[in-house]
Amino acid sequence: MPFHTYIYQTQIELTQDQAAELDIGEELEALAASVRSGLPGQPGLISAIEMHSFDEEAPVRVIFESIWESWADLQRHIGSDLDAQLFLATWGKGFLKHPPESQVFRQIGI
């Protein structure tokens, strides 16, 4: 049976004004640290990364991505207190125009 990893990606979208209000560097790094702080030690976590787009003309997309060893590990994570989607939904209440969106991907190949 082939080995697959599972990628969990959560995204929020900010207007350029919202990004400026947050001071895209410092505030977003603090937010990312909050999302990421409890992840190391989670069973099956391979890695986690946060990133944001930087096109000055378009909305700013902030992406939180974690990679998991198995489907069971990812399922335990989704809905937990450390789930980026739930964390960001709470954080963004009244600030974000759209709720965070998440997708699950399965790695192709080995």
Q: In 3D, which of 74, 77, 64, 63 has the Cα closest to residue 6?
A: 74
**What local confidence, expressed as pLDDT, does residue 110 receive?**
61
Which CATH topology does 6-106 take? Answer: Alpha-Beta Plaits (3.30.70)
Q: How far apart are the first and last CA of the chain?
A: 11
Q: pLDDT of the chain along its 110 residues, tens only?
A: 457 899 999 999 988 888 887 765 677 777 777 777 778 888 899 998 888 888 778 888 889 999 999 999 999 999 888 888 988 898 888 888 899 999 999 998 76
Task: Give per-residue burial for 36-71: e unless 16+ CB within 10 Å, then b.
Answer: beeeeeeebbeebebebeeeeeeebebebbbbbeee
pTM: 0.84
**What local confidence, expressed as pLDDT, does residue 34 receive?**
75
**What local confidence, expressed as pLDDT, does residue 11 receive?**
94
DSSP label of 104: E
The distance between the two most distant Cα atoms of the chain, rounded to a whole number of Å, is 49
